[in-house]
Amino acid sequence: MRMMQDRAAAEDIVQEAFCRVWQRAARFDTGAGGNVRAWLLTIVHRLAIDAQRKRKPDVEMDAHSDADWDFEDRETDVFEHAFANIATDRVRAAVSQLPERHRQVIELSFFWGLTHREIAEQLGEPLGTVHSWALQGMNRLKSLLKQQLS
């Protein structure tokens, strides 16, 4: 909802995600420590990015605050909801610890759906530099999240 800023579009993406999960369920590897929730969220995130790219000229991403797009799903298990909030808080805390350039690239990429090329243009940096910052930022983020679990 935060990325699409349109409830109907967000619902379409979720429906498409569930169709893809249904079609590809046999390929999901539970033996390798597979996390169904992470797999599903990755599919939804990628579909939202694709949809954003298709309609980019029509959307102004910072027109609303995040709170404007948070809808509570009354069907969600309370434990799952609490776990999701804890995980979100941990990721936000870890992202806030990143150096500014890494944080910027990760936020623009994952939360706003920009490509590395678009980020390079927006920041006025070479594309290779943005690629490097993204990789360094993700590695540092992974390290910070592992430290939180220890």
Q: Could you say which DSSP state residue 140 is in? A: H
- Note the pLDDT of residue 145: 81
Query: Count of H helices and E strands in the chain?
Result: 6, 0
| pLDDT average per 10 residues of sequence, the chain (150 residues) | 79 85 76 67 82 65 50 52 63 87 88 84 92 91 81
Q: Count other Cβ atoms within 10 Å, centred on residue 115.
A: 14
Q: Which domains does the chain have, with CATH numbers?
A: 1-71 (1.10.1740), 78-150 (1.10.10.10)
- Note the pLDDT of residue 136: 93
Q: Rounded to whole angstroms, how far apart are CA atoms 115 and 145?
A: 24
- Note the pLDDT of residue 95: 86
Residue 64, φ and ψ in degrees, nearest 5: -135, 160
